[in-house]
Amino acid sequence: MKKLIILLGLMISLYSKADESFKIIFDRSNFSDSTNISFLPNEFSHDMLFKLPVIDKQRSTPIENYFITNIQDKIYALHSGSFNVMLWNGSDWINLYKATYHGYNFEAFFFVYEDNLYSLGTYGYWLTHSNVLKFNFDAEVWDMVITRNSPENYGSYFVGQIGDTLISIFGFNLNESTGDRSKIIDGHLLDLKNKTWSEVGLAENIVPVENFFLEYKTRVDLKDYTVMENRLDTQKGLFVIDKINLEINFFANEDGYFFHSSVLDYIVDNKITYEEYGIVKTLNIDSLFMKEHITSSISLYSPENKVTSNLLIALYITLALIIIIIALLVIRRKRSSYGEIESDNLISLYSETLEKIMLIINEQGEATLDTSELNELLEITHMTYDAQRAKRAKLINELNYSHNLIHNCNLIERRRNPKDKRQIAYHMNISKG
């Protein structure tokens, strides 16, 4: 009976490990018999990895890196600049792609969505692009996915998947006439369900454009984070997209690079296990948020469309009304009585929100709210999770802008819990000034 229990436990353990979703970034060009692969799943062996081609036969060029992943119980390998889809059949790799076209997806972002293989961008046929391709397992070819509002002449290496959404930032535009690339901070979001692109920006620049240099091979997309290494000697470290809080963090690392000499990066959930000079190392991104070396943390937001001069005039008038209302509310706080202020559209929302904040301060002395409490305060609890994040970030930025005009400080400050840096709290500064 005891042996049976042990056997069942072993079978369950092996099954759960085999069923675990993983990604592997494999440097085929530097792989050798001495490479340590002990941290990979049991299906992997040196012989298996050596059987991946080292030369692209269609273009007669070396293959540097493979992206390896599993869909259910099957293992696939793909590489930049090629449409080949290599499937491991237990003894060898077979190429599922039957057409002859190649070269459209150099430095692509490969990902899995709803048990299908996809490729995004980045360069091909003399064009920088963010086009999406989906592998057709029946026809054994890649199909173009038609998307709306697609960015033109735009590509990025810093791409991550957040559920049904792709985020692409820190990219570049290519001037096709001159061949010049211009780096940009802001980027784009792609909703995979409705296949629509939208713009995304930073609340402020986390780093000047001249201070970042990102390499394609240093991107690692995890469950709750997307990590990319900044290779500039003047500012070494990791850029990390926090998918839960929709923020970008920079972690300085002046001592050196994280994945400079990595041959294998094995990615499960939020942990990266990698081999470097024969030594197995582990980087748990969750643990970074428990330390004090976050250099900067900036929230993402969806920018509004650019306004015309007439709309700018209307915006200035609206801001003037908001300033008057905020000043009246500060005076009325001293009298401990609050009346209903009649205003239209956004003005009424701002005044009601500020009044609630001051009520909380009068009762508690200060107001520090968690995310759910702030959602209730902003009356956005009826929205979906993703809509709440975007709306919350937008309202915080607008309220802080208005408050800064009078008090030279933010109304709402994001603060991290000192015991758990992953948790966000929101502190109200209405008492200042």
pTM of structure: 0.65
Q: Which residue type sits at 106?
A: F
Residue 108: pLDDT band with limits 50, 70, 90: very high
The first and second tokens of residue 75, run together, are 């293992």
pLDDT at position 157, please? 85
The pLDDT of residue 13 is above 90: no
pLDDT at position 273, please? 92
The pLDDT of residue 244 is above 90: no
CA of residue 379 relative to chain centroid, distance: 26
CA distances from 310 to 85, 304, 316, 321, 334 (A): 53, 15, 10, 17, 38
Residue 110 DSSP SS3: strand
The mean pLDDT of the chain is: 78
Q: Please name every residue paired with 68 in a beta bridge, in sequence order, or none if there are none.
A: 24, 77
The pLDDT of residue 55 is above 80: yes
Summarize pLDDT for 214-233 with one digit per residue, the tens. Answer: 666 678 899 999 988 876 65
Summarize pLDDT for 385-403 with one digit per residue, the tens. Answer: 878 888 888 888 877 777 7
- Using alpha carbons, select from 148, 115, 140, 342 the residue that is nearest to residue 132: 148
pLDDT at position 336, please? 43
Cis, peptide link before residue 61, omega less than 30° from 0: no
Domains and CATH numbers, the chain: 18-301 (2.120.10), 309-428 (no CATH)
